């Protein structure tokens, strides 16, 4: 079974950004930042594209 698309994307981006470096802490911090940005983007998109009659504002 393959990894979820988000995990695949984070792994490929982090491996490209930190090519040749072995500092696991930097790579994990980068992955955490990408994940936080994706979660924030998902919340914004959900609020923006949910019709007003279905919102619980």
For the chain, how long is the longest CA-to-CA vector?
Answer: 51
List, in order, residues 6 or more apart from 3 with CB less than 8 Å away. 11
Is 0.75 topped by the overall pTM? Answer: no
Q: How far is CA 29 from the centre of its chain?
A: 12
Tens-binned pLDDT, residue by residue, of the chain (57 aa): 455 677 777 777 767 766 776 678 887 888 888 889 989 999 999 989 988 888 776
């Amino acid at each position: 079974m393959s990894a979820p698309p988000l995990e695949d994307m984070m792994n490929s981006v982090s491996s490209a950004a930190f090519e040749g470096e072995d500092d696991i802490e930097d790579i994990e911090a980068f992955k955490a930042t990408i994940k936080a940005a994706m979660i924030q983007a998902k919340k914004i998109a959900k609020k923006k594209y949910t019709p007003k009659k279905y919102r619980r504002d």
